[in-house]
Structure 1
Amino acid sequence: MLIDIFHDTVCPWCRIGKKHLFDALDQIQQPVNIRWHPFLLDNTVPASGYEFRSFMRTRKNIGETELQQMFDYAQKAGEAAGVKLDINKISLAVNTTLSHQLIAIAPENIKNDIVEAIYKAYFEDNLNLGDIEVIIAIGTAHQLNPTELRRQLTNDAAVDKILAESIFARLNNITSVPFFIINNQVKIDGSHSREVFVQALNRATLLETSSKIW
């Protein structure tokens, strides 16, 4: 089974959706190949980041009360899913390009672990994903060579590829994340529940089986 996941690493709903999907995969016990795709929510953020709460108030065009309600809602949804989202601890809105480069670089056997480590770095440890030292530290913790990693992360062509993939997603009518495509046929827009993902996975399996019969 092939699953394409479009996400951004500072999107709490992407982390929730990932958890629901992986819980569903554990339930149906099928071999799966996951491809991670960048969807940059705001690539104008500098590497140093912006003050988080003021950035989010401006981005959402809401006041502090509404902002806190939005954060509380996402945090409770994370708790229900079994993931930690310490949103009140976050101090910076960050540029996520480097984090997506690390995911692209990571070998397939650790790619999912790298994604989770990046989510943890932002939502639990309040780290700046736009800081190359933070990204190298995540990669090094997963046995990637720091010297080679730095060379790859500072490659302009690699940066351009992330930007191009993010633009490509929008040109193909993906307007929000998380967004999942199963076996190039079944699409799920949003985080949803484990049960919804189980139904989608079963439907994708049925469609694949039917296509082979015919």
Structure 2
Amino acid sequence: MTTPSPPSAARSIQIDIVSDVVCPWCIIGFLQLRRALSRTGLAARLRWHPFELNPDMPPGGENLRAHMMRKYGVTAADSQRARDKLVALGNGLGFSFAFTDDSRIVNTFAAHQLLDWAEGQGRQHDLKLALFHAYFARGEDVSDPAVLEQAAVTAGLDGAAARAALAHGSHAPGVRSKQQHWAERGVHGVPAMIFDQTYLVTGAQGVDGYEALLNRVAKRPG
């Protein structure tokens, strides 16, 4: 993603985003960042990097509410309050969360492999957003090869080529290597954003928070 830059802008800010496609705070954080970029008029070069919230999630996944209660010890009421908060935040940013009692959390390793392939096609950002919309706005299973192929098509990629890339599995080692790279640098939760390879922030920071950070980074020598 590249945002338009006014003539006075001296350079473009590199922003690396470590995230998972089933992380609601990752799409919230990105949308807040995008709004902050619009406010500042700064240009940015975005790259997405893989992180699996549940690398051991079996095929078929798990009911989302039951998963949250088991993993984090929250109650059903806590889970509902969290969903309500996300829905409200999403609405304010122009994004719809379609949570239901049947929402599921799924394994995302295949999705990350497809994103790794899409980066080489110049469509990684488009695919990332397509996957966020597929999972959160439409409740689709982003571990399903057919859903992944359709997301690739939505992102402007060739569906048959996407299917072949997944079937071949050649991007699996690269994804594992990138996950290890970020873990070794202290990234153990997402979203994690690294600005100009210098400033690391984790969690959605809010539009004002990102705006302040962008302005700070922009003042550094290029």
Report the CA distance between 1:53 and its aligned residue. Answer: 2.0
Matches within 5 A, 1:136-151: 136-151=149-164
Of 210, 214, 217, the residue aligned with 1:201 is 214
Partner of 2:59, secondary structure, is coil
Report the CA distance between 1:38 and its aligned residue. Answer: 0.8
Structure 1 range deviating more: 169-178 or 84-93: 84-93
Q: TM-score, normalised by structure 2?
A: 0.86
Aligned match of 1:103: 115
Partner of 1:83, secondary structure, is coil
Partner of 2:171, secondary structure, is helix
Does structure 2 retain, via aligned residues, the 8 Å contact 1:28–1:198?
yes
Partner of 2:194, secondary structure, is strand
Partner of 1:175, secondary structure, is coil
Q: Distance in 2 between matches of 1:99 and 1:50?
A: 17
Deviations 1:94-131 (A, max 9, x none): 11112222222225653322211111101111100111
Aligned match of 2:132: 119
Alignment of 1:131 with 2:144, yes or no, is yes
Does structure 1 retain, via aligned residues, the 8 Å contact 2:26–2:190?
yes
Alignment of 1:87 with 2:99, yes or no, is yes
Aligned match of 1:43: 55
Q: Distance in 2 between matches of 1:10 and 1:56?
A: 13
Matches within 5 A, 1:55-74: 55-74=67-86
Of 32, 40, 43, the residue aligned with 1:28 is 40
Partner of 2:89, secondary structure, is helix
Q: Which amino acid aligns with 2:104?
A: L
Q: TM-score, normalised by structure 1?
A: 0.89
Deviations 1:26-82 (A, max 9, x none): 222233211100111111112322222222211112222222222222222222333
Report the CA distance between 1:156 and its aligned residue. Answer: 3.2
Q: Percent identity?
A: 25
Deviations 1:106-161 (A, max 9, x none): 25653322211111101111100111110011112333222221121123341232
Report the CA distance between 1:15 and its aligned residue. Answer: 0.5
Partner of 2:140, secondary structure, is coil
Q: If each structure's helix is expressed as a fraction of its own residues, which one has the higher value? A: 1
Does structure 2 retain, via aligned residues, the 8 Å contact 1:47–1:131?
no
Aligned match of 1:77: 89
Report the CA distance between 1:198 and its aligned residue. Answer: 1.4
Alignment of 1:170 with 2:183, yes or no, is yes
Does structure 2 retain, via aligned residues, the 8 Å contact 1:90–1:123?
no
Does structure 2 retain, via aligned residues, the 8 Å contact 1:89–1:126?
no
Alignment of 1:184 with 2:210, yes or no, is no
Q: Distance in 2 between matches of 1:170 and 1:142?
A: 28
Alignment of 1:53 with 2:65, yes or no, is yes
Q: Distance in 1 between matches of 2:70 and 2:160?
A: 38
RMSD of aligned Cα (Å) = 1.9
Aligned match of 1:212: none
Q: Distance in 2 between matches of 1:183 and 1:3?
A: 6
Q: Distance in 2 between matches of 1:111 and 1:157?
A: 17
Does structure 1 retain, via aligned residues, the 8 Å contact 2:35–2:207?
yes
